[in-house]
Chains A and B, each alone.
Chain A
Amino acid sequence: MTDIAMTVNGATRTGSVEARKTLADFLRDDLDLTGTHVGCEHGVCGACTVIVDGRAVRSCLMLAVQAAGSEVTTIEGLAPDGALGTLQQAMWDSHSFQCGFCTPGFVMQASAFLSAHPDADEQQIRAALSGNLCRCTGYQSIIDGVLLAARRSRAGISEGISEG
Chain B
Amino acid sequence: MKLPRFDYEAPATVAEAVELLAAHEDQASVLAGGQSLIPLLALRLARPAVLIDINGLGELSGVSVTDGFVTIGALTREFAAEESATVADAVPLLAAALPLIGHEAIRSRGTIGGSMAHADPAAELPAVARALDAEFVVRGQSGDRVIPAAEWFEGYLTTSRRSDEILLEVRFPAVMPGTGVAFQEIARRHGDFAIVGLAASLTLDDGAIGDARLAFAGLADVPVRAAEAEAFLVGQRPSAGLFEEAARRATAGLDPPADLHGSSEYRKKIAATLVRRGLQAAARNAGERQ
Interface residues of A (CB under 8 A from B): 2, 18-22, 25, 41-44, 46, 49, 52, 55-58, 60-63, 65-66, 109, 112-113, 126-128, 130-132
List, sorted by A's number, 27 A–B pairs whose CB atoms are closer than 8 Å.
A19-B6, A19-B7, A19-B8, A20-B2, A20-B3, A20-B5, A22-B2, A42-B38, A42-B42, A43-B35, A44-B39, A55-B105, A57-B105, A58-B106, A61-B35, A61-B38, A62-B109, A63-B38, A65-B8, A65-B10, A66-B34, A66-B53, A127-B99, A127-B190, A131-B102, A131-B105, A132-B103
List residues of chain B with CB within 8 A of the CB of A131.
102-106, 191
Nearest B residue to A20 by beta-carbon distance?
A: B3
State A61–B39 Cα separation when bound (angstroms).
7
Interchain nearest-CB distance for A75 vs B (Å): 15
The smallest C-beta distance from B149 to any residue of chain A, in angstroms, reads 27
Which residues of chain B from 93 to 122 have a CB within 8 Å of any chain A CB? 99, 102-106, 108-109
- Quick check: A58 and B42 within 8 Å, CB to CB? no
CA distance A126 to B191 in the complex (A): 11
Separation of A58 and B39 alpha carbons in the complex (Å)? 11
Instruction: Give the residues in chain B near A52, CB-CB below 8 Å.
Output: 108
Closest to B45 in A: A42
Q: Is the beta-carbon distance between B39 and A19 smaller than 8 angstroms? A: no
> In the assembly, what is the distance between CA of A11 and CA of B8, in Å?
27
Please list the residues of chain B having a beta carbon within 8 angstroms of any beta carbon in chain A. 1-8, 10, 34-35, 38-39, 42-43, 51, 53, 55, 79, 99, 102-106, 108-109, 189-191
In the assembled complex, the Cα of A51 lies from the Cα of B209 at a distance in Å of 47
A55 and B79: CB pair below 8 A? yes
- B104→A56 contact, CB < 8 A: yes
Residues of A contacting B42 in the complex (Cβ-Cβ under 8 angstroms): 41-42, 60
Assess whether A58 is in contact with B105, with CB atoms less than 8 Å apart: yes
Give Cα A52 to B35, complex, Å. 15
Most central of B5, B103, B109, B191 by chain A CB within 10 Å: B103
Give 7 A-B pairs besides A57-B109, A62-B109, A63-B53 with Cβ atoms closer than 8 angstroms: A20-B2, A20-B3, A42-B1, A42-B38, A56-B108, A58-B109, A130-B190
Taking a contact as CB atoms under 8 Å apart, the answer to whether B190 and A25 are in contact is: no
Q: How far is the CA of A130 from the CA of B3 in the complex (A)?
A: 25
- Rounded to whole angstroms, the CA-CA distance of A131 and B108 in the bound complex is 12
Contact of B190 with A20 in the complex, beta carbons under 8 Å: no
Taking A22-B3, A43-B35, A61-B34 as contacts, is the C-beta distance between A130 and B103 under 8 angstroms?
yes
Assess the B105–A46 pair: CB atoms within 8 A. Answer: yes
Cα of A66 to Cα of B34 in the assembled complex, Å: 11
Do B6 and A41 touch across chains, with their CB atoms under 8 A apart?
no
3 closest A-B pairs by beta carbon, nearest first, are: A131-B103, A19-B8, A42-B39
Interface-central residue, A57, A61, A62, by most chain B CB under 10 Å? A61
Identify which of A41, A56, A126 contacts B105 (C-beta below 8 A). Answer: A56
- CB B167 to nearest CB in A, in angstroms, measures 19
Q: Are A43 and B104 in contact (CB under 8 A)?
A: no
Contact B109 A128 (CB under 8 A): no
Is B35's CB under 8 angstroms from A128's CB? no
Q: Could you tell me the distance in whole angstroms from the C-beta of B90 to the nearest C-beta in chain A?
A: 24
- The CA-CA distance from A12 to B51 in the complex, in Å, is 27
With a CB–CB cut-off of 8 A, which chain B residues contact A128?
103-104
Given A19-B7, A20-B5, A25-B2, the answer on whether A113 and B38 have CB atoms closer than 8 Å is no
Choose one: B4, B53, B55, B103; the contact of A46 (CB below 8 Å). B103
On whether A49 and B105 interact (CB within 8 A), knowing A19-B8, A41-B2, A66-B55, the answer reads: yes
Write out the residue numbers on chain B whose beta carbons fall within 8 Å of the beta carbon of A109: 104-105
B contact residues around A132 at 8 Å (CB): 103
Closest to A131 in B: B103
B55: shortest Cβ distance to chain A, in Å? 6
CB atoms of A43 and B38 under 8 A apart: yes
Docked Cα-Cα span, A48 to B5, in Å, equals 21
Tell which of B2, B51, B108 touches A57, judged by Cβ atoms closer than 8 Å.
Answer: B108
